[in-house]
Amino acid sequence: MEGWLLELCGWSRVGDEITLSFGLRYPGGVAMIVHVADVERIIGHRADIDLRWDTIRFGITTHDAGHKLTDADFDLAKRIDEIAAAHGAEPIDC
């Protein structure tokens, strides 16, 4: 699974979760969350999301697998990267 992290710019592993924060003002963050939530509903996998005034943080792990990392987590991370780019969100520490 570590090979997946090499493909994901800015994502880091913290225990059995991968995380990334994006710089984006609050209104843009709300729009991005709606977009991500729509994709999550379709694929049946969800991230923990923390929205602040100028940042949005995603934390991903597979809750149904006992909070372990699975391929579904890395797939969702790639999708979040694509959505972030569409919203003009810049990864922090990438």
Question: 11-68: per-residue pLDDT in tens?
Answer: 988 889 999 999 999 999 999 999 999 999 999 999 999 999 999 999 999 977 777 8
Quote the pTM value: 0.89
CA-to-CA dists, residue 65 to 12, 16, 45, angstroms: 20, 11, 12
Tokens of 60: 């991903």
Residue 60 near residue 18 (C-beta atoms within 8 A): yes
